Amino acid sequence: MDQPIGVIDSGVGGLTVASELLRQLPKEQLIYLGDTLRCPYGPRPKEEVVQFTWEMVNFLLQKNIKMLVVACNTATAFTLEQLRLELDIPVIGVIQPGARAAIKMSQNMRIGVIGTEGTINSKAYPNALKNINSKILVNDLACPRLVPMVEEGILSGPEAYKVVNETLQPLKEQNHIDTLILGCTHYPLIREIIQEVIGEHVNVISSGEETAREVSTIMGYNKKLYSGDRIPKHQFFTTGRLDVFKRIASQWLDQPFKVVENAVIGINKTN
C-alpha cells in the first residue's frame, strides 16, 4: 500500500523511533512531525497535551497516512486509547512495546523507568509492566531537565553528563534495578551518558526497536506493507527552529544531510 506512515512527537525525540522504522522498513515512506515549538509536553496539563496531539494528528491525516505512530510517551499515556477509538487507521504507541522489551531483559524483575513529569504521573509504565507481570517492582523517576537539554542540542560533553548524573542520583542510590526503561523518546539521544551514569550492570531499554517491530507486524497482518521497489522520499516537519532540528535529525537518522534538509519544512503556529 503506497501511503506513508505518520510519526508524531513533542520534538526531536521521536527521531529515535523514526530511525528504527527506517532501518526495519526501508521501503516505507515516513512523514514525521515534531512539535518543537511547544516542547516539552511533560509539564503540561493533560488537556493541553490532548489538544496538541490532535493538532498534530489532524495535520498528518491530511497527508493520507496509513498508520499513526505516537512516538511521544506523554502523548501515548494521555491520548492513545482515544486515538484508537476515533481513527480508522492503526495507531501504535511506545509504552507497551517498551514495557515488553524491559520484561524480556530483566532478570530480577526490578525495573526502573525515567520519563517526563506527565508520563511518570500517569503511571502508564507501572500499569503496563504489572499488567504483564504483577510481581515486577517498579521504580519510576521524573526527569524534567533532560528534554529541554536535548531539544537545545546538548547531547554530549561535561554539561550533559552533569545534568544526567544529578538527575539519576535517586535511582543510583537504590542500586537494585537491573533494567532501566527510557520512558521518553528524547532520552536515547543521550543514551551513552545515561548508561555511563547508571552503570554497565543495568540494561538500558529504548522502545524504538520494539515499536518498529510492532508497526511491521501490524502492517503485515493488515496487508498494508509496500511491496514495490523504490527509494522512499521521507518528509520531516517541525513547528520550531529548523537549524536545531536539522542538526539532530541528520546525526540521528544517519542519512545524507541534504535528504533531511530538503524534507524539513517549518509549520507556523500561533498558540
Q: Which residues are catalytic?
A: 72, 184
- Among 194, 182, 215, residue whose Cα is nearest residue 70: 215
Residue with cell 521521536: 14
157 is in an annotated binding site: no
Residue with cell 510519526: 7
* DSSP category for residue 4: P
261 grid coordinates: 534538509
Q: How far apart are CA 72 and CA 183, in angstroms?
A: 9
41 is in an annotated binding site: yes
42 is in an annotated binding site: yes
185 is in an annotated binding site: yes
- Among 110, 271, 128, residue whose Cα is nearest residue 176: 110
234 is in an annotated binding site: no
216 is in an annotated binding site: no
**Are 94 and 16 contacting, i.e. CB atoms less than 8 angstroms apart?**
no
Q: How far apart are CA 89 and CA 270, in angstroms?
A: 29
State which amino acid sits at residue 49.
V
Q: How far apart are CA 109 and CA 95, in angstroms?
A: 17
Cis preceding linkage at 40, omega within 30: yes
Binding residues for substrate: 9-10, 41-42, 73-74, 185-186
Annotated binding-site residue numbers: 9-10, 41-42, 73-74, 185-186
